Each structure stands twice: as C-alpha cells, then as structure tokens.
Amino acid sequence: MSVVLKERDGGVCVLTLNRPDKLNALNVEMLATLELALVELDNDSTVRCVVLTGAGEKAFVAGADIATMQDMTSMQAKSFSDMGHRVCARLERAHYPVIGAVNGFALGGGCELALACDFLYASEKAKFGQPEVNLGVIPGFGGTQRLSRRVGEARARELCFTGDVIDAGEALRVGLVNRVLPAGELLAAAKATAAKICTKGPLAVGQAKRTILRGADVPLDIANELEAQAFATLFDTEDQREGMRAFLDKRSADFKGT
C-alpha cells in the first residue's frame, strides 16, 4: 500500500497521507512519495483543487518520524529539512489551491505541512503545535516562518518557545484554521469547497493564489502593482471572455482554463 493515496473526482484530487499505524509520521519515503505526487499534479492542467488529509481517525500528521531522526548527523538533518521545505514549497506554489483537511494531530512537521496549504478545515478533534523544543530542536520545514505569517509573530513565538499544543477551537480563534467541523463531516466539507472552487475560472484562481503569496512580503504599493498586472493579464484569456459573457447572459460560465 502506498504511503500517499491519490483519489480523483473531476478537477478535485484528494491526497491522503497513509501511515496510520505511525500516526502518518513523516519519513523520507513519505516526503519523497508526496513530492512525486505533487510534481505529477503540477503537470496536470485538469487539476483544479487538491485536498490534503491523513489516513485514520487520530492524525493528519503527528510529526516527523523521531525514530528515523534521532541518529541523524547535521548533514543528514539538513538534507531531511531541505526535502520538507521542497514539499511545502510545492504545496504553497502549486497552480491549484490546496485545502488541508486536518483530521487529528498536526504536530511538528504535520503542522508545517498544514501551514503550507492555502487554508485549513479542522476536525473538532484536531490538535496543532510546534513541539520541537521538547526534543532539543526547532521546526525544520518552515514552521518558524509560516506560523508567524498565519497567526502573528507573538503567538508564533509563544507556540515555538513553549511547545504548547492547541485544540481546534483555539486554532480557529487565532486564525490558524478557517472552519472546525465534526469529524464525520470534515472531508465532505473540504471536498464540497474544492468542488465549488472547480466551478470558478482556474486561471483567475491561480493568479489570485500567486498574487496573495507574492504580495505578502513586499510593500503595499508593489503588491498592488503585482495585482494590477495579474488582473490585466487575465484579459488576454478566453476564460475572461467566457466569464463576462456568461454573466451578461445570466448563465453559468463554462471555463476551460485557456
């Protein structure tokens, strides 16, 4: 059985991290398999939205696999960290939105993987945290950076310095997740939102994703110019013409991604 399962339904692809006996802990095999799956999806223009979740009822990803990390040298740790960063960057920079459906523990590397998603839906059983300081290390897949951008620097410092774990309700309160749902409704809700996104102009959704990402770390005037350029570029597409014709004709648009 693959450590990453892939399920397609039209433009929606569900990726399931599949080591439930290890609480879906991240090791080199899982990261490499996930990276390969993301490369394949990046080359498929028919993918409109991805849902990322974990197998089983207990964990999204409980963290990196400590058993495989404990004897790493600094060079091996750097290689492992680089792999995690590549995977997270692929999620963040994909041409399609990625919805994280966090069904349980999202700790350490699991929280970092979740943070690389565009937004998160969480089960009421979900738990989030960066507890690496309990092991004498720090987050290695982008947690010190993406967490502060998601919830603010002060809250990120508190979580990274204390190693505290927060529940889904607190994650919602601080803006880490968008929705909290009963466990049995989580995946269906994420799929429903993904399906809704699939009805929108895919080029426009992709530009919105890129513009938000690129504009986050530059001054507002530069970010606004990035937006204006992306807005103008879309007027050279058939999707723009179809979308505006459909609006005036009072019908649903049939976007082709061209």
Rounded to whole angstroms, the Cα distance separating 123 from 120 reads 10
Measured distance CA(220)–CA(56) in Å, rounded: 43
35 noted as active-site residue: no
Q: Residue 121's closest CA among 40, 49, 214?
A: 49
* Residues comprising the chain, all counted: 258
The token pair at 35 is 């990276």
CB-CB contact of 120 with 127 (8 Å): no
35 CB neighbour count, 10 Å cutoff: 18
Choice among 29, 57, 112, 170 that is catalytic: 112
Largest CA distance in the chain: 65
Respond yes or no: is residue 158 known to be catalytic.
no
From the candidates 35, 124, 132, 242, give the one annotated as an active-site residue. Answer: 132
Q: Which of 100, 106, 92, 110 is nearest to 189 (CA)?
A: 100
Strand residue runs (E) in the chain: 4-9, 12-17, 49-54, 59-61, 98-102, 105-107, 119-123, 127-129, 165-167, 179-181
Q: Could you give the CA distance from residue 95 to residue 209 in angstroms, rounded to a whole number?
A: 8
Q: Which of 215, 238, 244 is nearest to 149 (CA)?
A: 215
Which residues are the active-site residues?
Answer: 112, 132
